[in-house]
Amino acid sequence: MLKKLFIAAILGLVAVAAAAGYVYQQATGYLDQTNQLSEPSLFEVKRGMSFAAVTAALQAQGIATNNPWTRLIPKLDPKLAKIKVGVYQIAPKLTVRQVLEVLVAGKEHQFSITLIEGERFTDWRKRLEAAPYLKQTMAEMSEAEIATAIGADRTKLEGLLLPETYNYAHGSTDIALLKRAYDDMQALMVASWPKRAKASELDTPYEALILASIIEKETAVANERGKVASVFNNRLIKGMRLQTDPTVIYGMGDKYDGNIRRKDLRTPTPYNTYVIYGLPPTPIAMASKESVLAALNPDKTPYYYFVADGTGGHKFSRTLREHNRAVQAYLRTLRQNK
């Protein structure tokens, strides 16, 4: 009798072991399966999601298949259940185990946004509003309130932020990103202002940002920035008006319809450099690092004028007579290309 009980107990233990082995094999098989993604896919772990909810979401997104044994994984391998909130990029062919390890490591996907030189702050606000997974906090804030929030001592942010491609993780705020752009521009000015050319007519770092914004709008040709800066610097030294169209456009605001007319050049605004002397009161656009450095260190040239040459660049002139000939040449080029 005892022998039969002993045999029955042994058989029971074998059955339990076999069942446990089967469960372990199924769970391990689930962990070792590779996803069938054809391209990287974003996966979000939301706050409060249970392990079961995460695996269900993985299945819904095609990153894993349905498996009745997934609920046992936290017991079989507890560290795989310590998943962190965030948005992750899942690469094709990763196993479920590797996917879970990504979620446990908390290595969130880095999104990026490019804030473009030459644009205005209003343009940047629209870019930030459209950025995926960027927490929006500025919708009801004025520009002056945003300036205060990022630590700026001015109410207008035009020209105070450094154009660049910025990376951010899920949950980052729009304000935090602008703060980085502001701090980067401040750091650039702290490093560059003391190294400015002695011949520069700029009295303050803010004036440098104003001039840099004008340079940014006047040319997209990298090797022309220094020449353009020299023209404006030469004009400031001589007490000539800057007479630059982008400042007129900025001063026109919503009235600008794509064309500048003679009456617009004569209409006074704080920004119309055909009417005022010196620099306008604020920058007119976001200026790149290259334009800032050009404003601080203009080329040494005899030029006081420039006009488009019809090929994407500009013709620089020393005298008004030379400039007028260059203007006529430009107009001929326009007529020929019609």
- Please report the DSSP string for 121-178 in residue order: HHHHHHHHHHSTTPBP--TT--HHHHHHHHT-SSS--TTSS--EEEEE-TT-BHHHHH
pLDDT at 68: 77
Is pLDDT larger for residue 74 or for residue 163? Answer: 163
Residue 72 has a pLDDT of 81
pLDDT in tens, 173-184: 999 999 999 999
CATH superfamily of domain region 33-109: Endolytic murein transglycosylase (3.30.1490.480)
Q: Are 247 and 237 in contact (CB under 8 A)?
A: no
pLDDT for residue 33 is more than 70: yes
Could you read off the pLDDT of 69-102 as tens digits, one per residue? 788 888 888 999 999 999 999 999 999 999 999 9
pLDDT band at 269 (very low <50, low <70, confident <90, very high): very high
Q: In this predicted structure, what is the pLDDT of residue 16?
A: 45
Kindly report, residue by residue over 283-311, the tens digit of the pLDDT.
Answer: 999 999 999 999 999 999 999 999 998 88
Instruction: State whether the Cα torsion 223-229-232-238 is positive or negative.
Output: negative
pLDDT value at 337 more than 70 = yes
Task: Decide if pLDDT at 248 tops 60.
Answer: yes
Percentage with pLDDT > 90 across the chain: 78
| Per-residue confidence (pLDDT) for residue 133, from 0 to 100 | 94
Query: For residue 15, is pLDDT > 80?
Result: no
User: 257, exposed or middle or buried, with CB in 10 Å at 0-12, 13-18, 19+?
Assistant: exposed
Judging by beta carbons within 10 Å of its beta carbon (0-12, 13-18, 19+), is residue 137 exposed, middle or buried? middle
- Residues 97-113 have pLDDT tens digits of 999 999 999 989 999 99
- Mean pLDDT, the chain, whole residue set: 91
Window from 26-30, 131-135, 154-158, 321-325 with minimum mean pLDDT: 26-30
CA 28 – CA 252 distance, rounded (Å): 68
Instruction: Provide the residue ranges of all domains of the chain, joining segments of one domain with +.
Output: 33-109, 111-190, 198-336
How far CA 161 is from CA of 3, 77, 188, 192, 209, in Å, comes to: 86, 48, 10, 15, 10
Q: Region of 93 please: left (phi>0), alpha (psi -120 to 50) or beta.
A: left
The predicted model scores a pTM of 0.85
Provide the token pair at 327: 């203007």
For tokens 């001015």, what's the residue?
A: 154
Strand (E) positions, the chain?
A: 41-45, 86-90, 111-115, 164-168, 305-308, 314-317
pLDDT of residue 19: 45
pLDDT at 9: 47
pLDDT on residue 21:
55
pLDDT band at 227 (very low <50, low <70, confident <90, very high): very high
